[in-house]
């Protein structure tokens, strides 16, 4: 499933990133790498999501979130 489909409070494991190298680089620089664990803090069904990864919170736009494949835990 896609990151964008996760609901608030759900945890997931990142499987893969679909996009150009600039996209992959940007997402990985923020700590969202393949195999890492994340938690969705906020997903209103519109506007960006807020996710938690390790100690930090990240705002991620819907367009980017729809290019990240995850597995719900």
Partner 1 sequence: MSEKIVIVGHPNSGKSSLFNSLTGLDQTVGNWPGVTVEKKEGFFFIDDNKFEVVDLPGCYGLTPTSIDEKISLDYLLSSSPSLIVNILDGSNLERSFFLSLQLFFLDIPIIFFINKMDVAKSKGIKIDFEKLKGIFSCDIVLGSVKNGEGIEDLKILIKKNINKKVCETKYFKVSDKVYLHIEKISELLVKYKEFEKHPKFYSLKVIENDKNFAPSIFKILNEKDLSKIKSIVDEVYKDIKKKDFLTLDWFYSLSRGIVGEVTTKEFSDKKSLTEEIDNTLLNKFFSIPIFLITFLFIFFLTFFLGDIFSNFLSFLFENLSFFLTKIIKEGFLLSFLTEGVVGGIGSVITLIPYIFFMYIFLGFLEDTGYMARVVFIMDRFMHKIGLHGKSFISLVLGFGCSVPAVLSTRVLDTPKDRIKTILIIPFIPCSARLTVLIFFGAIIFGKWSFLVIFILFLLSILFAIFSGFFFDRFLLREKSEGLIMELPDYHLPTLKNLLLNSYFKVKDFLKRAGTLIFFITVIIFLLSYFPKNVEGGFIRVAGEKINFLFKPLGFDVERTVSLITGFFAKESVISTLGVLYKGEQIERVIVNRWSSVDGFVFLLFLMIYLPCIATAIVIKQETGSFLYLFGIIFYSILFAYLISFLVRYFLLLIL
Question: Which residue ranges make up the site for partner 1 (CB under 8 A)?
Answer: 17, 21-31, 33-36, 41-42, 44, 46-48, 50, 54-64
Min dist CB 42 to partner 1, Å, is 6
Question: Strand 11-17 to strand 49-53: parallel, antiparallel, or no bridges (unpaired)?
Answer: unpaired
Nearer CB in complex with partner 1: 2/33: 33
CB atoms within 10 A of CB 73: 10
Question: Cα–Cα distance between 16 and 69 in angstroms, integer?
Answer: 5
Nearer CB in complex with partner 1: 61/72: 61
């Amino acid at each position: 499933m896609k990151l964008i489909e996760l609901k608030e409070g759900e945890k997931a494991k990142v499987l893969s990133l679909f996009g150009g190298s600039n996209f992959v680089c940007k997402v990985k620089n923020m700590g969202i790498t393949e195999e890492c664990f994340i938690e969705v803090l906020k997903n209103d069904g519109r506007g960006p999501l807020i996710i938690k990864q390790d100690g930090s919170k990240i705002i991620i736009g819907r367009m980017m979130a729809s290019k990240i494949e995850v597995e719900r835990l």
